[in-house]
Amino acid sequence: MRPFKTLRSIAAVAAFAAALPAASYAATTTIDFEGTGAPCCFVSTTPLSNAYAGLGVTFSGVGGTGGSILNQSGNFGFNAHSGTDFLAFNTSVNGISGVEDIAFSSLQSNVSIWVANQFGGAVSLTAYDASGASVATSSITSSSVWQQLSVSAASIASVRLTAQLGTPYYAADDLSFTGAVPEPEAYAMLAGGLAVLGVALRRRKAA
């Protein structure tokens, strides 16, 4: 094998290998909605949208305005799951929806979030892949005690948080997500590439 072809093969395999550890050992990221100087009333808030885009997450309401970050002093009937702030929804305020889409800039393998609601009612978290197909769902009957919704799948591109119709208001806190792990086939391709490269290098030395 000619030297430049060998170098080109080394570069290709190395680039592929470098991409794998970042995905396979991706750390879990948690957004606790703290540090924004959140108010206690909805009239003083703006919907959460791109505030966490730097972490690869965007938020948007479905069928209306999405949730806003509020301080627990707003008389929700419970404190935040952690800290003093949480993502809150009040469907009795015109235009505010109880449904929130959370999209990720890279695929995730697990997404979880804590929810609470003084009035009860079902709350669900549904995961979707890049094509928009539902791949996992989790539901709870909410209360003023925080409960965790969690979904797992090979490649989660977004999740949708939905409260039962008629639930006046609820809150969510401590959103956590973990990057997707490459499929076994990816590692097989890497192993095959390294084997071919090893043979090529041995032949070059023998020549």
Domain locations along the chain: 3-20+185-206, 27-180
Structure confidence at residue 166 (pLDDT)? 63
What does pTM read for this prediction? Answer: 0.76
Number of Cα atoms under 13 Å in the Cβ half of residue 107:
19
Pairing state between β 147-163 and 122-128: antiparallel
Structure confidence at residue 198 (pLDDT)? 54
- Residue 194 pLDDT > 60, yes or no? no
Q: Please list the residues that pair with 9 across neighbouring strands.
A: none
Which one, of 78, 127, 131, 109, lies nearest residue 180 by Cα?
Answer: 109
Q: Which two tokens stand for residue 123?
A: 């709350």
Rg of the chain taking only CA atoms, in angstroms: 23
pLDDT-based confidence at 24, cuts 50/70/90? very low
Q: Which two tokens stand for residue 98?
A: 């109880």
Topology (CATH level 3) of domain 27-180: Jelly Rolls (2.60.120)
Question: What are 110-151's pLDDT values in tens digits?
Answer: 999 999 988 888 999 999 999 999 999 999 999 999 999 999
Dihedral angle, C-alpha 167, 83, 68, 163, nearest 10 °: -20
Q: How far apart are CA 147 and CA 37, in angstroms?
A: 25
> What is the pLDDT averaged over residues 152-163?
96
